[in-house]
Amino acid sequence: MKAVGEERGLATLEMTLMIAILVPLLFSILEFGAALERWLAQDAATVQAARYAGEIGGDGAEVRGLLAEQLRASGIDPGVATIEIAPARVGWREPVRVSVSTEYRLAIPFLFTTTLPIRSSAISRGEVNR
């Protein structure tokens, strides 16, 4: 009986060790996957916003509204995103740049928790003949 008890204890110890190794691995895949998906979604929203900024001739409530809507649809809170549209007003054939920056909280159990900066930028050209 004592030997069986020892085996049980050993199995528990093994299980604990395996969980300590395999759970961080699994969460690394999930967390980094989610971060990359978010990066892709943010990039796509930024490109759309840049095109729209070119169409309306720079910064405006419409561009920010579109960007906020696109970010929200991708699961990103637009309230915490840093958005820059420069220059604020562009004329015919002038470049306009839209930059979006957010932070993603990466948490890997038993290893670390960190904040990952995600930055996206796109350039378009002004289409408004002022």
Partner 1 sequence: MNALRDDRASAAVTTVVLLPLLLTVLAAVLQLGALRVAAARVRAAADLATLVAVNDQDDAELSRTGSLRLAGDASDVAREYFERELELSEALLAVSSSEIAARADIAAYPSAPSVDARTGARYQRPAVRLAADVPVRTPIFGALAFQPVTTIGVLAVSSPR
> Which positions touch partner 1 (CB under 8 A)?
3, 7, 10, 13-15, 17-18, 21-22, 25, 28-29, 32-33, 36, 39-40, 43-44, 47, 50-51, 54, 93, 95, 121-125, 127
Could you give the 3-state DSSP secondary structure of residue 5?
helix
What is the closest distance, in whole angstroms, from the C-beta atom of residue 85 to partner 1 in the complex? Answer: 14
59, two tokens:
């910064």
- Choose between 21 and 88: whose C-beta lies nearer to partner 1: 21
What is the closest distance, in whole angstroms, from the C-beta atom of residue 51 to partner 1 in the complex? Answer: 7
87 Cβ contact list (under 8 Å, min separation 6): 58, 94, 96
Sequence-separated contacts (24+) of 68-74 with Cβ below 8 Å: 70/44, 70/45, 71/41, 71/42, 71/45, 71/100, 74/38, 74/41, 74/42, 74/44, 74/45
What is the closest distance, in whole angstroms, from the C-beta atom of residue 95 to partner 1 in the complex? Answer: 7
- Choose between 25 and 80: whose C-beta lies nearer to partner 1: 25
- Choose between 30 and 79: whose C-beta lies nearer to partner 1: 30
What's the half-sphere exposure (Cβ side, CA atoms, 13 Å) at 30?
9
What is the closest distance, in whole angstroms, from the C-beta atom of residue 50 to partner 1 in the complex? Answer: 7
